[in-house]
Structure 1
Amino acid sequence: MNNLIDVIIPVYRGLQDVIDCLDSVKSSFNQSQYELIVIDDCSPDPAVSALLQERFNQGEFTLLVNQENLGFVATVNRGMQLHPERDVLLLNSDTLVVNDWLDRIANAAYTAPNIATVTPFSNNATICSYPKFCQDNNLPSNTSLKSLDALCAATNAGDAVDVPTGVGFCMYIRRAILDKIGYFDVETFGKGYGEENDFCQRAIQAGWVNRFALDVFVQHTGNVSFGDEHNELKHTALAKLLEHHPHYEYEVQQHIAQDPAHQARIKIWLASLIQGELPIVVHVTHNRGGGTLRFINELSEDIRTQCFPLMLMPSIKKPGQLVLTQLTPSEDGLSSEESDYSLYVAEAETLLAILKYIPVAGFHFHHMLDIPHWVMSVPKQLTLPWLVSLHDYYYICDSISLTNEAGEFSQAERLNIDESWTQSFSSLLQEAKACIAPSDSCKAFYQQAFPSANLVTIYHEQGRYLKHDQFKVSGIEPKRNQPLHVVVIGALGKIKGADLLEESALLCAQKNLDIQFNLIGYAYRDLVTTPKSTLTMSGRYYDHELLDRLASLKQAGKVDVIWFTSRCPETYSYTLSSAIDAGLPIIAPNIGAFPERLFGRCNSWVIPWDADAEFVVKQFFDLATYGDSSPALSNFTSKTVPSNACNAYQYSTDYWSLLEPKAGISQTTDIDKTQLTEWLAFALPHTSDAPSVNQATRKRLLTILYYLRGLPVLRQLVKRIPLSFQRRVRNFFTR
């Protein structure tokens, strides 16, 4: 190995990135001797060129200046040719390095005689990315760059794997391979992209290997240095690359499938749990996504500087077990995925042993559906505080919606409380630091069932959808030979009003009323649609696209009012937030969170929750006749004032005071290698997601039951089976 290494940083633009990169190189500490060579590729930003000249004058580095813009490939070739006897390390100007990064990369380059290139871990480095493989990432919130790099060094010391290509953001190249196969191919790849892949493939063909150093982490913001046209360049470069190396894509896909760095990433994650810089809060919840998952995700963002979230939920991959996993919403946001970063537990002893290793500050219970009741005692055994969020009415009634076996709500005035059910959750709620209701209505129901619990109202989404002066509401003009367009949103079951919607649409068709209903979503059964009724169905939607769909309908004149058809109390309703955000008139039932959330909002009405189709159609007919000045609807504006308590807390500032974690939870960047080794030996066996034979059989049988349940010939039979029995069957197969 040569004593001197050329660290080459080509610069085009991105002033702050350049400053940060140069500062990080300067402040890192390495035994390896190197010369820093910065090349100004005729930057279009005079401030960048001035900065480089100033710092060159201060003796910080060797500066080369291109008189015209050559692009990345020719620029780094110029740098690599400067000292033809030295190894080189190419470093993008939008990277950050820490600790003894260069020492470890250089060491990896000489663990075998035929190593051509070395690339480290990064947050944005395709096959070398962490935490998510082959994705662009932010740094994990519980580890700074310095501590994350140190964890890589401690957990994967000296480890490296072969890769089909290095990644050019930070790539060490030995001089011997440059002498053998030459420099980057500027003639083919022009100003950039694909040149390092071609170089690495040529190295492989010459009998050399490219290595991925698993014990180094370099941060990469990505695609700043050489402009915004990178996507077009990448597509063009890939076509050229495949002309020269037709098997390149196959080799990359084969590498992705084998993923030899998988275990190294798991070890880094495990290490970050016990050596992270933030205390951990364990969120206990079901695995069914929906509004509960959305809230956990939003809460975690609000408090990301205060604590690090882990989820404890029933495992989907290993039915019958719990999984302690990193918060990972699915791509559509509707469910939670069990990421690679998961620990599987089947009994209390294992979970307790895991949690004793990591700095848990407290627990936050969101749901106990499908979760063994022994989990409720875990915080007590660890002498840790806990909060409870009330997303539905599961702790009061196993139907979660306060409905009976027939799916009907009949407890508007006074709850008929089944103490044999509520007693199971009495300690959980009454000994929690706080039980958080997302509406006063929800809080009131729970006060009946758990009068000793410390119940507080904190609206989701920072309560911003109570501020009606911030959302302009459109009006409704009387309809003259035009239809009234009523939009209904959601996945409608019986208790969500699917039957009422169908009956109303049928009645309009029978009476020749031009009131058109559009369901954005789907129902629990096939509903009668046009031409037999005035109902059309738009199909499923994703939360992130709902506002755009409503805006499109509004612009096209295809929505006059949003109708919430629920026949039971909602605790909050994110869908209502979307309707408010869209600035549309709203009709909702006078139960649950709707009245208080619509108080003071113009063109918003709350009608009797148990109204039949005749009554509902009468209101829409009056709305079509008189517009938003309908005399009948004027009697149905909300009189329910939200309590002042909803403004008392903000998660972003008050979460820690609500949880009241015990003192003495400390985080340190000093790594206890003995403890780390012990922890990895204990935890790694619990990261396997391979199901047992029994678990796989149960999962297959449950899939078959769901398939049979959906067959038209069995649909009517299934409707006659009590919901409680269906739940027991499902729970048996997911135990």
Structure 2
Amino acid sequence: MSRHSSTPPQESLSESAKNEVRLDALAREVEDLKRELGIRDDILQQVADHATTVVKSRRLRIGNAIGDLLYRLRRRRSSHVAVHLNRTLEQIRKLQRSPTGRRSHASTRPWQGIGLANNPIQQQRSVTVVIPVYNAHDDVRACLESVVRHHERGSRILLIDDGSTDTNIWPLLHQYDDDHSFITAVQNPANMGYTRTINRGIGMTQNDVILLNSDTKVTRGWVSKLQQSAYSRDDAGTVTPLSNAAGAFSIPQQNVNNPIPLDLSVEEMGELLAFVSERQLTVTPTGNGFCLYIRRDLFDEIGVFDEEHFPQGHGEENDFSMRAAAAGRVNLIDDGCFVYHKRSASFGEGKGKALEVGKKTLETLHPSYKPQIQEWLQNDPLAELRAFLKTLPQHRQTKGGRPTLLYILHDGRGGTRLTSFDLARAAEADFHVLLLTTGRRTWTLNEVVNGDIKPLEERELETEWYIHQPLAHDRARFLVEILTKHSVGLVHARHFLGNAPEILHLCSVLDVPTVVSFHDFYSVCPNTQLIDDRGRYCGGDCNDGPRGCSVNRGWILEIPPLKNAWVHVWRRRVESALRRASAYVTTSQHTRDTIAKHFAFAHDREFSVIEHGRDLGHLPDVARPPVPNEPLRAIVLGALNFPKGTGLLQSILERDGEHRLELHVLGVWPSGFEDSAGNAVLHGRYSQSDLADKVRKIGPALTIVPSICPETFCHALTESWAMGLPVLGADFGAVRDRITKYGGGWLLDPYSPELWLEKLHAIAEDPDDYDARRREALAAAQPTVAEMYTAYLRIYQRAAETSSATTVS
């Protein structure tokens, strides 16, 4: 299933080297700047601010940030900015030296892994959402429904009726006040105007404030996202989300009322944006009052909104933002938060005139406002995100002919890859089949054409894959591109290595049904084989020992403390994703029971057991019965490591002082195994085409499957039975399930090497029992690939019925 190297992939080393080169180039640029003349002060400040942002943001894309800073420096030289850059250069170096995917050493929560907070929120701060209301009953109701649906603990809602002429407004607000303890509704004695109304609301609380228009619809997690962004840096003052219609904060196009793409609901658009956004929290000259998070300490510093100059709104938030900037605070965009805006349904008549008056007033009070806005628009920091969203069609595309089926699996070796490719080839009869293989730094989209696996596109990703990080934005974008461009109607997630459980969320957002396979226990614990610190099968239940559990360092280079700790975070994350899937499949009853033990809801879902099908052809019967007074000849097949039984084999060989066992290993083994393998014969790798020939030349009597963790299927057992070889295996997992069902072998406690050696001696001395097991092995049912696919096709058809966008014939 996975690689076994303990050395980080080469791409990790090369990326680190690239960043060092970038940093050295940056240092040279600073030295050059010392010798050159200055230019406009506002340009210098922008460059300096950008350098500060690189340091404070703790973005994961450190190399890209440094590269962007270099680009700005080369275009806009100044000795004035050199002093600032000298101070920040060493900070950038410290940031670069922090492990990829982790926060800098300054973080108090280093495993959060989202690359956002400079000063993470130590405890949730209280926030009051102030919603001024003036008429527009239906819009207000829709807004309140969304606010209640996405209410978060620690937040309160303050509704202020600013003298609405619609007599249905106050009863509506009053009803929400009665129904929800976190909502308070008040009335102005008369129409006070927008700015006085929001200032009244701000004065009624000592909390942070979110100003929210009554013609909006919020999305899941909106308060916590904005709050987290507001405290991502010490000098943050305001935060504005993105929207379909909020001027420069509109996506994908600025200053228009954008339709939501792909026929998505507002909720789904919020989820999609959360996946595909880089969450870079860009500084902007101004916030937008349609939805504006404001820290309480900013009110304490600069006061509230200017009622005198902007009594009806239309410029009050811009003036407030400019005053915040003048006080050394910054206005941020949360590009991962989406709030729908119907646009100005609550301002009544006379909007056009009020806008013009507000604009002139703003430019008079802040002459630099317009140039700053023009500069920001010209260097649009959201350009990359906008460009991606523009590629998405407004309506979901349907495709004639065969529906498209996408398999997702890691790019490692082993049984998962072998069986997935077999299944994909078989599915070509009914589907247009794509395979997405996911690696640590590269994802590759393949297509099945007449049984051949042909690459369509290889995507080099911006960051290394780390298990503790959520699905990165560039990976999410690539998956969205695949799903939409190829009109994918069904996804079969074969493994989460190299990707993330959140791929199921993303598919669900786009109304693409998913089937999930369990080839091992990675979903239960990243340890994968459920081997504890004592080297024993734990079943996913952590012991109280002081030592931690191991993980596959070929994939998992970094992980938070796992045992009795982060494993529970992982399971919650997996469970949240699995609930989005239509069906689950695994390959043995034991595996199904173990998965369902930790994800109890799976008992109530379609959860099938389908054995792997193999087209092994007519393999010859190569077994040679034991010969009296000669060593018992046995083989071991596949990739050996500690969970796969190297320790058990070594213990057996150490106890075989009389050399009554002749052991042959076909496959791969860990470094150092040769030195402790005694008189075992190590043959190396084999292929399906030459397996029978190699085994025939050895002439074994049986196969040993020495795994000390439960196998979820065991291809070695399938291959052995096909060649007439009975199997001695561990008494749990799929090996137990299959030998109990079909015979064809013997079962033993995997932690008692003495019993294994005794049993091997007994097999050599009991020809009748051996012959019976050999006949059972030859007679054992071996499903073909076609039979396996037929079982999967029934699941695919039922899963497709859950989506109106897909029809599987």
TM bucket, shorter chain? 0.3 to 0.5
* TM-score of the aligned structures, taking structure 2 as reference length: 0.41
* TM-score of the aligned structures, taking structure 1 as reference length: 0.45
User: Whose relative contact order is higher, 1 or 2, with alpha carbons under 8 Å and at least 6 apart?
Assistant: 1
